[in-house]
Amino acid sequence: MAEREAVEMAEYKWPEPGQRRLIGKRVSRVDGPDKVSGRAKYTYDVNRPGMLAGKILHCPHARARIVRLDTSAAEKMPGVKAVLPLKKVGDEILWAGDEVVAVAAVDEPTAEDAIRAIVVEYEKLPHFVLDTDPKAAGERARPTAEQIEGDPDAAFREAEVVAEGLYGMSVITHCCLEPHGAVVEWEGENSVLVHISTQAVSGIAGQMAGPLGVPAGNIRVKQEHIGGGFGSKFGPDSWGIAAARLSKMAGGRPVKIMLERDAELMVAGARPSYYGRVRVGAKRDGTLIAWESETWGTGGIPPTSPLPLPYVLRIPNQRKRHIAIATNSGPARAWRAPLHPQACLLTMAAIDDLAAALRMDPLDLLLKNIELAGERADVYREELQIAAELMEWKKRWHPRGDPSPGPIKRGLGVSIHTWPGRGHACRCDLTIHPDGSVEVKLASQDLGTGTRTAIAIVVADTLGLPLEAVRVRIGDNQYPPAGGSGGSTTIGGVSSAARRAALNALDQFFARVAPLLNAAPDQLEAWDGRIRVKGDPSRSIAWEQACARLDGMPLTVRGENPGPGELTTAGAAGVQMADVSVDIETGIVRINKMVAVQDCGLIINMKAAESQCYGAMIMGISYALYEEKIMDPVTGRMLNPNMEFYKLAGLADIGELVVHMMTGEKYDRRGVIGLGEPPVVSPGAAISNAVANAIGVRVPFLPLTPERVLEALKKGGSHARV
Amino acid sequence: MEKQPSKPGSLSRRDFLKVSGITLTVPLVVGPRVLKVAGAEVKVFGPGKVPMTFTINGKTYRAELEPRVTLLDALRNEFDLTGAKRVCDRGTCGACTVLLDGKPVYACSVLAIEAQGRAITTVEGLMQDGKLHPIQQAFVENDALQCGFCTPGFVVACKALLDRIPNPTPEDLVAGLGGNLCRCGTYVGIRAAIAQAARMQRGG
């Protein structure tokens, strides 16, 4: 302890446990009342005076060339204020749903009529949308270089047991409930106001500047609340630029374009599919020694990159090949923990199949090889033990194939995962006003993770004030820049910047107040609404009185991340277990219970951290059992671009969910680590393994639809039984 | 034979969308036309804008709207009552749930013209004297929201459920809230919030 303090910068560290009044506690989010009352304004809710409704005509064909484009009828319609072709005759369309023409009209019905009045003729070109068979992909399949570590051939010869299997997961979409979109207006010739649904408030102006021919400094970007992003909302996109251009054509009137649900599901973001044939080799005692995988998949255009395989466990002696397939099925986008759920399934399912071949409990197999997880091995070991207790794993686990009579088979599955989650670059300004109120400004965004609340907690705790005393202002690019909310980087970035700002403020504050208390500045601390002398609470001054010493001028200081003192590190580790029931007559999988045990370093808000895990497990149940972007090979179109047939898990589908967050000195001292992605990684693998444990055969692909479950049962387990 | 709506209650959004494409040159008509259909006189509104009057959260609102406009779009675009959200726009996700004479409906699947003369309650109408409704309070305390876009719909659906069944079983929850979807995964919080709100309403 003493040694650690000696090497750290004394000034910039997180408070010790006894000095945390709010950090790590269960705090209700500060914007909760606005959200439950309907007062919270999202981009979709922005209604500006004179606002026009923007609509887009989407191409119905997967691949086509435009041979005729006639917008004249739409232009002549009363109420239509601007018609903007986004493609021209001769242009090639690469996926169904691509944007062809945008219009702006006085209201939505008129804009819809105008869209219907546009004539486009296409020359259809051959398309390809299948992703499950690289052989069928022809020239669209591009093998990447083979990667080899150690001597896989010798290792497989040495292996006493080898399991081989086929695994994978389909393309799924982000399905943000607030679709992508923006409300844009020109303020004069050279200045643009943008309300946009985005995960990157600070990044938007720079991306719009070029296309609009306006300096980024003249583009004001605002967003009070955002209705989901999950990795898909980092840019203005063609529809955001179109809204701006339409506004200019319409004399600067605001134009709102929010994607219709079908476009949202077709083109606004998808997680790539990955499939793979995997071999794993081990000694008879379960020691993992060899890995071989050939993977393929697609996110559309551009195609996919190789997966981080084998996942978490660095199995010695590996050979990996990947085939990237380009398809006419829309663009891929980062989806919460990019590449990880796929790599996790391919690895954890293969290890689970190996355990079945070894006739071992997969939990024991993971524990036996946990040193392969490297630096974080001890965390995983501890987490696996806690999860096993919460799931009563040892009491309830049975070898593969539930022998009990009747059509309902029950099984358990386990998986482990990781994610870096180091805080991003972030700046914030903290102002103490002479009346004692405190204001923090930064151009971050609250994706629903509780960012506003986290910032308020850190600042209030540091200044010794109640949560309500701190006003957090985010979602405006005129505030100091903060990184985009992707990769679980936000909490580390904003909390570190806010902590440094608050500590900087105290430094200045203590210098002014110290003479009043007849003490040196470094003897002071902020606690419970007062500035006091450490160890002598009788010598103190109320916060408001101290603020009166500001001579009527607000005190503003800057906090930055990265900066002195390590307040955020990287490498969250987690374990999940699933308990499922499978009806082998109908193929329906039900979740009975899931357990998540998760490390994310120092937790700022326990309530929000748990919510992240619950939410991730539910999103995981959703993609494991229901979600799939289904493409029609004949037309090349998505068959389910709506919410009836693109299925999300509902309240009835989740079973009992248990979350255990790892806390204590060992975790606290790692600083703050992001939590958005890690808990969404394991559900697919844990549920797939639980289903295999229940029915005795592997269902190769997610989602585990009744059809796929019955198909696997009919085949009688081919590869999975080894 | 062209299908004619026989009474306001049978006007479907789809019919209006179909009609709209062929009636662009019809001059704006205010007030109904009376047609004879199968020997009976029926009033036909539109396709132009029609004056409409609504009672929303106890207040009177007036607007001129095309009959094809949904209640959801009228609320959001004409009256700036943006609590009810447009998500699926076809009666699947529940984000636009409002109460019509106390019953929960998908506002995206009700025509504005049909909602006239009925008591419309939106999420904005649940707060009393600046104080959150116990259900809203329970949502906040149990973190039954993340991005919050589905939340107003859930809150209104919960209100309807608890009004009907003050002490719901888990099966009642599924039946009462199965028509609402959340992408962030807040169902655990929602279950806890409902339990708390039910306790509070019983005076517990």
- Which of B 89-148 lie inside 8 A of A, CB atoms? 89-90, 92-93, 95, 122-124, 126-127, 132, 136, 139-141, 143, 145-148
Q: What is the rounded average pLDDT for all residues in chain A?
A: 95
Q: How confident is the model over B155-184, as a mean pLDDT?
A: 96
Q: Kindly state the percentage of chain A with pLDDT values over 70.
A: 98
Closest by CA to A269, choosing from A239, A224, A309, is A239
Number of C-beta neighbours around residue B152 at 10 A:
30
Residues whose CB falls within 8 Å of the CB of residue A527, separated by 6 or more in sequence, listed in order = A464
Q: Which residue in B80, B127, B147 is closest to A448 by CB distance?
A: B147
In tens, the pLDDT along A82-97 reads: 999 999 999 999 999 9
For residue A47, the chain B residues in CB contact (below 8 A) are 76-77, 80, 82
| C-alpha dihedral sign at A239, A241, A243, A245 | negative
Does pLDDT of B167 surpass 70?
yes
Q: Which residue in B148, B155, B178 is closest to A40 by CB distance?
A: B148
A and B: number of Cβ contacts within 8 A: 177
CB–CB of B140 and A643 under 8 A?
no
Closest by CA to A684, choosing from A659, A658, A702, is A702
Residue of B nearest to A74 (CA): B24
Q: What is the pLDDT of residue A713?
A: 96
Q: What is the pLDDT of residue B204?
A: 61
Residues whose CB falls within 8 Å of the CB of residue A206, separated by 6 or more in sequence, listed in order = A216
Q: Give the residue ranges of DSSP H helices in A523-637.
A: 543-547, 606-625
Q: Kindly state the percentage of chain B with pLDDT values over 70.
A: 84
Closest by CA to A86, choosing from A255, A195, A236, A245, is A245
The SS3 assignment for A405 reads coil
Closest by CA to A200, choosing from A401, A481, A415, A406, is A481
Tokens standing for residue A445? 């965004």
Separation CA A494–CA A473 (nearest Å): 12
Name the DSSP letter for residue A218. Answer: G
Q: What is the pLDDT of residue A31?
A: 98
Q: What is the pLDDT of residue A720?
A: 39
Separation CA A487–CA A676 (nearest Å): 7
Q: What is the pLDDT of residue B44?
A: 86
Does pLDDT of B194 surpass 70?
yes
In tens, the pLDDT along A532-547 reads: 999 898 999 999 999 9
Does pLDDT of A407 surpass 90?
yes
CB–CB of A36 and B20 under 8 A?
no
In tens, the pLDDT along A414-435 reads: 999 999 999 999 999 999 999 9
For residue B152, the chain A residues in CB contact (below 8 A) are 35-38
In tens, the pLDDT along A486-531 reads: 999 999 999 999 999 999 999 999 999 999 999 999 999 999 999 9
Residue A537: asked if its preceding bond is cis (omega within 30°), the reply is: no
Does pLDDT of A471 surpass 60?
yes
Q: Which residue in B76, B174, B184 is closest to A615 by CB distance?
A: B184
Residue with tokens 């026009």: A52
State how far residue B106 is from chain A, nearest Cα, in angstroms. 14
Does pLDDT of B14 surpass 60?
no
State how far residue B187 is from chain A, nearest Cα, in angstroms. 6
Strand order in the sheet with A52-58: A80-85, A99-105, A52-58, A255-258, A181-186, A192-196, A219-222
CB–CB of A225 and B147 under 8 A?
yes
Containing H/E element for A70? strand A64-70
For residue B66, the chain A residues in CB contact (below 8 A) are 109
CB–CB of A611 and B82 under 8 A?
no
- Own/partner long-range contacts of A83-88 (Cβ < 8 Å, ≥24 apart): A83/A114, A83/A118, A84/A242, A84/A245, A84/A246, A84/A249, A86/A56, A86/A238, A86/A242
Any A CB within 8 A of B47 CB: no
Does pLDDT of A270 surpass 60?
yes
Q: How confident is the model over B70-87, as a mean pLDDT?
A: 98
Closest by CA to A486, choosing from A243, A174, A231, is A231
Q: Which residue has the higher pLDDT, A393 or A550?
A: A393
Any A CB within 8 A of B155 CB: yes
Q: What is the pLDDT of residue A722?
A: 30
Separation CA B27–CA B46 (nearest Å): 10
Any A CB within 8 A of B15 CB: no
The torsion angles phi and psi of A297, rounded to 5 degrees, stand at: 165, 180
**End-to-end Cα, chain B, rounded Å:** 61
Residue of A nearest to B191 (CA): A651
Say what the pTM is. 0.94
CB–CB of B148 and A617 under 8 A?
no
In tens, the pLDDT along B24-77 reads: 444 444 568 888 888 888 888 888 999 999 999 999 999 999 999 999 999 999
Predicted ipTM? 0.96
Per DSSP, the residues of A687-720 read HHHHHHHHHSS---EES--HHHHHHHHHHTTGGG
Separation CA A603–CA A568 (nearest Å): 11
Residue of A nearest to B88 (CA): A261
Q: How confident is the model over A631-652, as a mean pLDDT?
A: 97
Residue A84 near residue A242 (C-beta atoms within 8 A): yes
Containing H/E element for B188? helix B187-201
CB–CB of A619 and B183 under 8 A?
yes
Q: Give the residue ranges of DSSP H helices in A626-682.
A: 665-668
- Which of B 66-95 lie inside 8 A of A, CB atoms? 66, 68-69, 73, 76-77, 80-90, 92-93, 95
Q: What is the pLDDT of residue B129?
A: 94
State how far residue A339 is from chain B, nearest Cα, in angstroms. 20
